[in-house]
Copies of this chain bind each other. A is one copy, B any other.
Amino acid sequence: MKAAVPLYQDLASRLAGLIRAGTFAAGDRLPSVRQASREHQVSITTVMEAYRSLEDQGIIQARPRSGYYVPPPSLDVSKLPMAARHSKKPIIIAQASIFQSVMDLAENGRVVPFAAAAPDDSIIPSAKLASITNAVLRKSRSDALRYTPPMGRRELRLALSRRLLVAGIKAGPDEIITTQGATEALLLALRATTKRGDLVAVETPTYFGILHLIRDLGLRAIEVPVCTRDGMILGALETALKKHRIAACVVQPNFQNPIGSVMDAAAKKRLAKLSEDHGFAIIEDDVYGELSHDGGRPPSIALYGGNVIHCGSISKTLAPGLRVGWMVPGGWLDEVKRLKTIQCPWNATLSELVVASFLDAGGYDRHLRRIRELYSLQCARTRQAVVRFFPPECRVNQPAGGFVLWLEMPADFDSEAFTVSAVAEGISLVPGTLFSPSGGLKNCFRLSCGFAFGPRTLDAIATLGRLVVRNG
């Protein structure tokens, strides 16, 4: 005689099957208890018991006042990318010829865009920005269209001085300089803290834009590896500091691009202390800082002291096309102001007033809550598809914030050749070599999850999975 399976267990195993099959994917909300009771013709109590059982098994997650969700695949440490092997010698950064080709793809709307770390249309609050722009132009008229001196509009610097408190930065409006995106801020920070030939510590891997600026300014780089969980490996920095005079250290402490790591308070404090002891500048690139997937905003290193130049922008949170960034140059305020007056003496008045107005009264926090959830979902779904379609030897990070995935393949994998094959299939991505000052990381690549996940994305990941096998 077969033992009777309780109704709720039967329902739970059917639901678990649907989740395994992908009917409910990572981030999806399960039907409400009432709806499930109707769909499966069982009592509400049975559904609640089934959901609780699935929750106990970690297959679904309850979110207060929202319902039950399929969580992202759980963290399997053995599957995460490992810290990169790094060179301990100063490097004159090589020119990556493949970069221009990747950039040229950015305008091509037919390509599935895993290359640019750009927010999707669903992230950009275009209706709200349109109504704010309209209101700014109606209210300010030509005042919104005049020259703005290099420090930037005071309205925006005031809004930022309030906003930056959340990141632990106490800076008055006269200690903030607004820039054309974070790139201008990083450029000014590097120029203010270094001279030609100086040595700059960089994370490996790191955002390629930083490496381009360093090369362009005639600086040399020293690699510091990044660990998937904790960010910059400070022991490696300390070793380098024993041998070399380092002028500046560029770091993304919060949701590092491309690794997604976050430095904890102890690590930030230790880095701040190192910068004071050794007299180098910390150039903090914090463009992903507001994009925690669980909502907690990790602080700036500046909260813990140190010689910090903080750089940020609204390109990942509001609208990259407005080109609004900022920096808090700390002890380099006068020098940054001097340099900016030469190379970029006037700021974008209308953009700055629009962003100031959004920060002040546009429901920025509400907006952030919404896009954090979207980014988190897009990352989880893309990652889930990677796990499904890529060979098991592939390692992929599980970012706690931001929206890029970093994939590590076996050592003999050629990501540049792979990128060429992918582009031929109408899919863009960035090969690992661009993230390395020495042209290493050839077996890695980055996928951006800025764009909404849908059938086209799923197909593209499946295609990449096939190409990976062929290139492997």
Q: How many angstroms between the C-alpha atoms of A137 and B322 in the bound complex? A: 12
Residues in chain B near residue A187, CB distance under 8 A: 343
Nearest B residue (CB) for A154: B107
Q: Are A346 and B322 in contact (CB under 8 A)?
A: no
Nearest B residue (CB) for A318: B145
Which of the segments A124-132, A232-240, A422-430 contacts the partner chain? A124-132
Q: Which of B138, B320, B345 contacts A209 (CB 8 A)?
A: B345
Chain A residues 120-162 with CB under 8 Å of chain B are 121, 124, 126-127, 129-130, 133-134, 137-138, 141-150, 154
Residues in chain B near residue A141, CB distance under 8 A: 121, 126-127, 130
Nearest chain B CB to A147 CB, angstrom units: 4
Residue from A107, A127, A146, A321 whose CB has the most chain B CB atoms within 10 Å: A321
Chain A residues 154-206 with CB under 8 Å of chain B are 154, 180-181, 183-184, 187
Nearest chain B CB to A66 CB, angstrom units: 27
Is A53 on the interface with B (CB-CB < 8 A)?
Answer: no
Is A347 on the interface with B (CB-CB < 8 A)?
Answer: yes
Residues in chain B near residue A351, CB distance under 8 A: 348, 350-351
Q: Which of B100, B142, B341 contacts A341 (CB 8 A)?
A: B100
Residues in chain B near residue A345, CB distance under 8 A: 103, 183, 209
Nearest chain B CB to A330 CB, angstrom units: 19
Chain A 270-296, CB-CB to B under 8 Å as 1, else 0, gives 000000000000000000000000000
How many chain A residues touch B (Cβ–Cβ < 8 Å)? 59
Is A62 on the interface with B (CB-CB < 8 A)?
Answer: no
Q: How many angstroms between the C-alpha atoms of A345 and B187 in the bound complex? A: 12
Is A3 on the interface with B (CB-CB < 8 A)?
Answer: no
Q: How many angstroms between the C-alpha atoms of A100 and B343 in the bound complex? A: 14
Residues in chain B near residue A142, CB distance under 8 A: 121, 124, 126, 319
Q: Which of B147, B148, B321 contacts A349 (CB 8 A)?
A: B321
Q: Are A342 and B212 in contact (CB under 8 A)?
A: yes
Q: Are B118 and A129 in contact (CB under 8 A)?
A: no
Q: How many copies does the complex hold?
A: 2
Q: Are B343 and A147 in contact (CB under 8 A)?
A: no
Q: Are B145 and A321 in contact (CB under 8 A)?
A: yes
Is A18 on the interface with B (CB-CB < 8 A)?
Answer: no
Is A12 on the interface with B (CB-CB < 8 A)?
Answer: no
Q: Interface SS of chain A: helix, strand, loop or mixed?
A: helix
Q: Are B149 and A106 in contact (CB under 8 A)?
A: yes
Is A344 on the interface with B (CB-CB < 8 A)?
Answer: yes
Q: Are B346 and A320 in contact (CB under 8 A)?
A: yes
Q: Are A183 and B129 in contact (CB under 8 A)?
A: no
Is A338 on the interface with B (CB-CB < 8 A)?
Answer: yes
Nearest chain B CB to A370 CB, angstrom units: 15
Is A216 on the interface with B (CB-CB < 8 A)?
Answer: yes
Nearest chain B CB to A293 CB, angstrom units: 22
Residues in chain B near residue A118, CB distance under 8 A: 146-147
Chain A residues 72-126 with CB under 8 Å of chain B are 99-100, 103-104, 106-107, 116, 118, 121, 124, 126
Q: A137-B129, A216-B343, A342-B213 are in contact. Are A348 and B319 (CB under 8 A)?
A: no
Chain A 351-385, CB-CB to B under 8 Å as 1, else 0, gives 10000000000000000000000000000000000
Q: Are A150 and B103 in contact (CB under 8 A)?
A: yes
Q: Are B183 and A180 in contact (CB under 8 A)?
A: no
Is A269 on the interface with B (CB-CB < 8 A)?
Answer: no
Residues in chain B near residue A52, CB distance under 8 A: none
Is A297 on the interface with B (CB-CB < 8 A)?
Answer: no
Is A323 on the interface with B (CB-CB < 8 A)?
Answer: yes
Residues in chain B near residue A215, CB distance under 8 A: 342
List, sorted by A's number, 16 A–B pairs whose CB atoms are closer than 8 Å: A118-B146, A124-B142, A127-B141, A130-B141, A133-B133, A133-B350, A134-B134, A147-B320, A180-B323, A181-B346, A212-B342, A216-B342, A321-B350, A322-B349, A323-B346, A323-B347
Known: A130-B138, A323-B348, A350-B351. 11 other contacts (CB 8 A): A103-B345, A118-B147, A129-B145, A130-B137, A133-B133, A134-B137, A146-B320, A212-B341, A321-B349, A323-B346, A348-B348
A interface residue numbers (CB < 8 A to B)? 99-100, 103-104, 106-107, 116, 118, 121, 124, 126-127, 129-130, 133-134, 137-138, 141-150, 154, 180-181, 183-184, 187, 209, 212-213, 215-216, 315, 319-323, 337-339, 341-351
Of all A-B residue pairs in the complex, the 6 with the closest CB atoms, nearest first, are A321-B349, A145-B319, A130-B137, A126-B142, A121-B142, A124-B142
